[in-house]
Amino acid sequence: MTDVWTSVGVIFSVFLVDKTKILILDPLVAIFIALNILFTGTSLIRRSLSGFMDEAIDKKNLEKIKGIFEKYEKKGLVFHEIKSRKAGQKKFLSFHALFPNDFTIKKSHDLIYKIEKEIKKAVFNIQIESHLEPKDDKKSFEN
């Protein structure tokens, strides 16, 4: 599209200068097109680079995940170490879920299973890794 705008701009400014006889229009249109090329170029480079480097998943999906966590926090769970990244179309999420001490493994696992299912339903193409911990253990807050 940048090529198209360059060509359109050149033809347009030649036409404009010919019609109006205002010579300054030509360099003005040229500057505008140059800025457009620079802008497009930088955004292309930025987009290619973010594909190489780990970047958090987009805000909209993070908000959805946060909403799900908040729902379960009201039920007494705590979440921390929430990390996300994306590689191409694939999204990755990891987090620690802290449960009350008296929760059985079965009960905790059933809950985390439900939470992960909810996240997978809300966020397309996401792979989740979770770590279960007891809420009242100091070790849970160490890395």
For the record, the structure tokens of 10 come out as 């050149």
Q: How far is the CB of 141 from Zn ion (least distance, A)?
A: 6
Instruction: Tell me whether residue 21 or residue 139 sits nearer to Zn ion (CB atom).
Output: 139
CA distance 51 to 60: 19
Q: How far is the CB of 97 from Zn ion (least distance, A)?
A: 9
Rule CB under 5 A: which residues touch Zn ion? 96, 140
Q: How far is the CB of 74 from Zn ion (least distance, A)?
A: 20
Instruction: Tell me whether residue 84 or residue 140 sits nearer to Zn ion (CB atom).
Output: 140
Q: How far is the CB of 81 from Zn ion (least distance, A)?
A: 5
**Three-state secondary structure along 81-115?**
EEEEEEECCEEEEEEEEEECCCCCHHHHHHHHHHH
Q: Which residue is nearest to Zn ion (CB)?
A: 96
Instruction: Tell me whether residue 85 or residue 135 sits nearer to Zn ion (CB atom).
Output: 135
Which alpha helices (DSSP H) does the chain contain, by range? 2-20, 25-52, 59-73, 105-122
Instruction: Tell me whether residue 81 or residue 118 sits nearer to Zn ion (CB atom).
Output: 81
> Tokens 């379960």 — which residue?
72
